[in-house]
Amino acid sequence: MRYCRFRIRFPDRIGMTRDVADIVASHKANITALEAKPGEQYLQITSESKSVLETILEKIETISGMDEVIQVQWLPFELAQQQLRAVFDAVDVNILVTDKYGNVLMCNKKAIETYASMGSIIGDTPLGSALQQLGFPKEILKTIITSEINDQEILLNIPGRSGRYIAKNKLIMNDQGEISGSMVFLEEMARVRRLANFMTRPVMVTFKDIVHSGEKMGRIIDLAKTVAKGTSTILLRGESGTGKELFARAIHMASARKDKPYVVVNCAAIPDTLLESELFGYTAGTFTGGNKGGRQGLFEFANTGTIFLDEIGEIPPYIQAKLLRVLQDGYVRRLGEALETKVDVRLIAATNRNLEKMLASGEFREDLFYRINVISVVIPPLREHLEDIEALTLHFINKLSKRLGKNIASAPKAVIERFMAYDWPGNTRELENIIERAMNFAQGNELKPGDITLPVFTTDMPGKLKNAMADTEKQLLLKALREGKSIRKAATLLGVSHATVINKMKRYHIDSQTIDQW
């Protein structure tokens, strides 16, 4: 069967459509499509003979008052459909258009690809299938065809494979205002996660951003760079304030997962009652006041990327068991759900606690310890790499000058020497805080020793005992300086070196005036 499409134009008059139809019928052909408006018509005519179609066009041209008869490639409605389809298929979200019973009448290219990749049992396309056949959960089927949902997480359960999606729909109404169908939009949860990560990820750093000048930290950074390239679990160990999270971010950025999600969890900051649901997620109805559609856990959110569990030693034993399951098998089970979800997550853990002692006391699972302690990177306290003090000081001065609107650019040798004599129980974090406090009061373009306020007591002893011992040490030092009348003689009286006396004087802010007043 042959066909042709053409457009005719003419002065508007009654009977033109009948005249055209008479010519077509007299040649035993059919008008299979017709669009008309005043003065213009588009027709599609079918016939078994090409010559018959040519004859019909010639005779239509002879109709009284006919202005134009030309062949066209598409009828207007066909062109509109093609344009709509092009837009429809360009949308990178699954779209299913259903009738009022939930049967799919139309879908876009993305939806066809999705169901093909899921290995569904419906064939090559979702067209003609009911939403129930497409894996939609029963509790949402009636809602989709009777009302509208907005950004609700659902699990499409297809035999052989399942997937999580964010669903929303728009009802389709007929001329009488009745529901005639629904347009359903499904966005892959993984895509939503990637977008959320892009919008909310913390400022990332590289190993170049870890300030140091000494060999000790240089060797540790080289080790971290090496292990970053793999996929094994890394345990960062060190005191509070040594920069464990800085190393975790740098490791992520030096790995093959740098463009994937990076999720930070401070296990000490989340109550035990919430930590389990934060890590592993929960289903609808699990908690009073929880999200209506449930919630994915942070392990699912970090899928294909990295999760950083800071203060992992604070995780209670019952959650440690679930964490071990995730690390061993790579599956996460939400609270209240039987289904397990496969995740691909690299774990970086950190702690300032002695996990070996926790093993002995039963506070930390032995099997979990060996699972997370695959590669251990120990970050030393600041007092063990004092050679980096000057570089760190200048770095923080430059960083804080911009933030505080100051013009301070340097610190004299006296400030560095004072910092070198301090034990830094709070490590690099304490150094930054002390410099920030000093810069708020500093005048001119450099810090001065008088701007610096260092704590008198270290934090290596609890409460009253450390205060009493520090006070006793200060009194003995003052007595020796008063009696010896010089630093060297005071050192001899105390049985310590000349340098030790100087450092202690700086720590306790002792000068000649203090000695005279004592």
Question: pLDDT tens digit string along 468-513?
Answer: 677 778 888 888 888 888 888 888 888 787 778 887 888 787 876 6
User: Given a cut of 70, is residue 462 above it in pLDDT?
Assistant: no
DSSP 4-16: EEEEEE----TTH
Q: Which alpha helices (DSSP H) does 27-75 contain, by range?
A: 50-61
* Residue 457: inside a domain: no
Least reliable range by pLDDT among 160-164, 383-387, 453-457: 160-164
Beta strands, E only, 311-427: 331-333, 340-342, 346-351, 375-378
Q: Which of 184-198, 328-342, 400-414 has the lowest mean pLDDT?
A: 184-198
Do 314 and 405 share a domain, yes or no? no
Check which CATH number belongs to the domain holding 169 and give it: 3.30.450.20
Identify whether 313 is part of a domain.
yes
- 196 inside domain: no
* Confidence band, pLDDT 50/70/90 cuts, at residue 139: confident
pLDDT above 80: residue 304: yes
| 8 A C-beta contact, residue 118 and residue 161 | yes
User: Which of 25, 242, 28, 65 has the alpha carbon at shortest distance from 41?
Assistant: 65
Structural domain harbouring 22:
2-77
Q: pTM for the full model?
A: 0.62
Tokens matching residue 300? 């699912």
Rounded to an integer, what distance in angstroms lies between the CA atom of residue 512 and that of residue 518? Answer: 10
Amino acid 48: pLDDT: 86
Find the mean pLDDT for residues 218-231.
Answer: 96
> Residues 193-197: what's their mean pLDDT?
59
Whether residue 190 is predicted with pLDDT greater than 80 in this model: the reply is no
Residue 478 within a domain: yes
pLDDT, position 458: 47
Q: Return the SS3 of 134.
A: coil
Closest of 260, 267, 356 to residue 308, by C-alpha? 267
**Mean pLDDT on 376-386:** 95
Question: Looking at this protein, which amino acid is placed at residue 301?
Answer: F
Q: What is the reported pLDDT for 506?
A: 80
Tokens of 305: 């990327």
Task: List Cα–Cα distances, 204 to 248, 311, 360, 361, 402, in angstroms.
Answer: 10, 20, 37, 37, 19
Task: Place 466 in a pLDDT band, splitting at 50, 70 and 90.
Answer: low
Are 338 and 304 found together in one domain? yes
pLDDT of 511:
74
Would you mind telling me the total number of residues written for the chain in this entry?
A: 518
**H or E, element range at 440:** helix 427-441
Task: Tell me which residue of 416, 422, 426, 425 sits closest to 392, measured CA to CA.
Answer: 416
pLDDT at 384 > cutoff 90: yes
pLDDT of residue 345: 95
Q: Is the pLDDT of residue 206 over 70?
A: yes
Among 428, 451, 474, the domain boundary falls at 451
Query: What stretch of H or E contains 43?
Result: strand 40-47
More confident residue, 124 or 18: 18
Residue 353 neighbours by CB under 8 Å, 6+ apart: 311, 313, 314
Q: Are residues 370 and 223 in the same domain?
A: yes
The answer, yes or no, to whether residue 224 has pLDDT greater than 60, is: yes
Eight-state DSSP code of residue 410: B
Cα-flanking dihedrals φ and ψ of residue 69, to 5°? -135, 110
In a domain, 456, yes or no: no
Confidence at residue 123, expressed as pLDDT on a 0 to 100 scale: 58
67 and 127 housed in the same domain: no
The HSE-up count of residue 489 (CA atoms within 13 Å, CB side) is: 9
Given CA atoms 124, 130, 132, 137 in this order, what sign does their dihedral have?
positive
Higher pLDDT, 507 or 68: 68
User: Which residues, in sequence order, are bridge partners of residue 266?
Assistant: 310
* Beta bridge partner(s), residue 188: 165
Question: 164 vs 399, which has greater pLDDT?
Answer: 399
Q: What is the domain-level CATH number for residue 35?
A: 3.30.70.260
Residue 99 has pLDDT above 90, yes or no: yes
440 and 330 in one domain?
A: no
My answer on whether 247 and 362 are in the same domain is yes
- Rounded Cα distance between 160 and 327, Å, is 24
Same domain, 111 and 238: no
CA angle 265, 188, 184 (to 5 degrees): 135
Q: Are 249 and 202 in contact (CB under 8 A)?
A: yes
Q: Are residues 44 and 115 in the same domain?
A: no
Q: Give me the residues paired with residue 2 across strands.
A: 47
Of 159, 188, 217, which marks where a domain is finished? 188
> What is the Cα–Cα distance from 241 to 440, expressed in whole angstroms?
22
Task: Tell me, yes or no, whether 193 lies in a domain.
Answer: no
Asked whether residue 40 is domain-assigned, the answer is yes
Residue 333 has pLDDT above 50, yes or no: yes
Is there a domain that residue 208 lies in? yes
Q: What SS3 class is residue 407?
A: coil
8, 68: one domain? yes
DSSP state letters, 331-344: EEE-BT---EEE--
User: Which of 378, 406, 440 marks a domain boundary?
Assistant: 378
Give me the CATH number covering residue 355: 3.40.50.300
178 and 297 together in one domain: no
Helix ranges (DSSP H) in 27-128: 50-61, 76-90, 109-117
Same domain flag for 362 and 414: no
Check whether residue 64 and residue 146 sit in a common domain. no
DSSP state of 2: E
Is the pLDDT higher at 261 or at 153?
261
Interval 35-52 mean pLDDT: 90
Please tell me the total count of domains within the chain: 5
Residue range 261-280: mean pLDDT, rounded: 89
Report yes or no: 7 and 68 within 8 Å, Cβ to Cβ. Answer: yes
Q: What pLDDT does 457 receive?
A: 52
Mean of pLDDT values over 4-26: 90
Strand segments, DSSP code E, in 229-321 are 234-237, 262-266, 281-282, 295-296, 306-310
Sorting pLDDT into bands at 50, 70 and 90, what band is 459? very low
In degrees rounded to 5, what are phi and psi of residue 341?
Answer: -110, 130
